[in-house]
Amino acid sequence: MLGSSMGLLINLDGVISPAATISVLDRGFLYGDSVYEVVRTFNRQPVGLQEHLDRLRRSAAYLYLAVPWSDRHLKQEVDQTLQQATGEEFYIRIVVTRGADQTIALLPSAQIQPSLMIVVSAIDPQPKLSETGLHLQIVDRIRNHQQALSPAAKTGNYLNNILGLLEARQQGADDALMLNPQGEIAEATTSNLWLVQDGIVKTPRVEAGILHGITRAFLLQILRDRQIPHQETTLKPADLWLADEAFLSSSVRLLMPINQINDYQLPQCPSSMTRFLWDQLLMLMQDSTQD
């Protein structure tokens, strides 16, 4: 049972309640055979919901998983769940599992039907940029190889990230910074990485094997619109030690400054570019939820 004491509101296949029961035969539970998206609200409106649903479908297609619901239906289910939620702003998790079979087998049956779960939880109504930042540790655990399980697909199989995070925590860090099999910087466990060096904003290219972050796309749009020098480029660990400032981006935390990577202390945290992009991102979110 989920949600009974976690302060969550759960919509499981159209039934909204504070708790939900999922079959132990559900393939999302058994194998991580699922896809999901995490969305946050701003002014009680989901930010970038269409972009998240588009990525949900791309991830599902990668898993040979058909999503039988229209975007309109998914948006209605999100809206109905939010209407019953208590709070000002919310974390929204949209999960599509392949569903439950009658027996445990690696190959899903032809009759299996997907299941839809939407989880809503209240979050801080006033987004604030952290003044302390995070300590990241480059871990030995490498990011999934793109030809094994592509990081571009946002699936319920998160063991690679969990092991990286546990390794970083054992070394006293807040989060892990993971490399790809070629030794290039990929991403943190739930966030995209950004560096600022000599006024140029840099982030790993998608070919490095990263999730195509929605907030990442918003930031790239801001950088283009404001004509700020930026690069999607190959980054190696040696590039980190030249950074003037650094931060992570994700849908819920938005921007999270970095104060330390391994033993390297960033000169300032947060610094001017991080603060500027934070303000611009809030303005973009404000505009998008008023359309």
Of 85, 102, 123, the residue that ends a domain is 123
- What the block records as the tokens of 233 is 């480029």
Its pTM surpasses 0.85: yes
Answer yes or no: do 146 and 249 share one domain: yes
Q: What does the pLDDT read at residue 289?
A: 83
Looking up residue 13, the CATH number of its domain turns out to be 3.30.470.10
In eight-state DSSP terms, residue 46 is E
Q: Are residues 74 and 188 in the same domain?
A: no
Distance of CA 177 to CAs 135, 146, 173, 189, 256, Å? 10, 17, 10, 7, 14
Mean pLDDT, the chain, as a whole number? 95
Dump pLDDT digits (tens) for 174-201: 999 999 999 999 999 999 999 999 999 9
Residue 131 has pLDDT above 80, yes or no: yes
Query: Is position 54 within any domain?
Result: yes
**Within a domain: residue 3?**
no
Confidence of residue 5 (pLDDT cuts 50, 70, 90): very low
Q: Are residues 103 and 192 in the same domain?
A: no
Cβ pair 45, 83 in contact under 8 A:
no
Tell me how long the chain is. Answer: 291
Mean pLDDT of 136-164: 97
The pLDDT of residue 3 is above 90: no
Domain that holds residue 158: 134-288
Q: Are residues 162 and 283 in the same domain?
A: yes
- The pLDDT assigned to 288 comes to 86
3-state secondary structure (DSSP) of residue 196: strand
199-226 residue pLDDT tens: 999 999 999 999 999 999 999 999 999 9
How far is Cα 35 from Cα 10, in angstroms, rounded to an integer? 17
Answer whether residue 135 shows pLDDT above 90: yes
On whether both 102 and 241 belong to a single domain, the answer is no
Which token pair is 281? Answer: 């991102």
CB 98 within 8 A of CB 112: yes
- Which residue, of 75, 93, 123, is where some domain finishes? 123
In this structure, the answer to whether residues 112 and 138 fall within a common structural domain is no
Averaged pLDDT for residues 59-82 = 98
Residue 247's φ and ψ, nearest 5 degrees, are -155, 165
Q: Are residues 17 and 117 both part of a single domain?
A: yes
Mean local confidence (pLDDT), 103-123: 96
Q: How many domains does the chain have?
A: 2
- Shared domain for 153 and 107, answered yes or no, is no
Clarify whether residues 146 and 86 are in a common domain: no
- Considering the domain boundaries, does residue 2 fall inside one? no
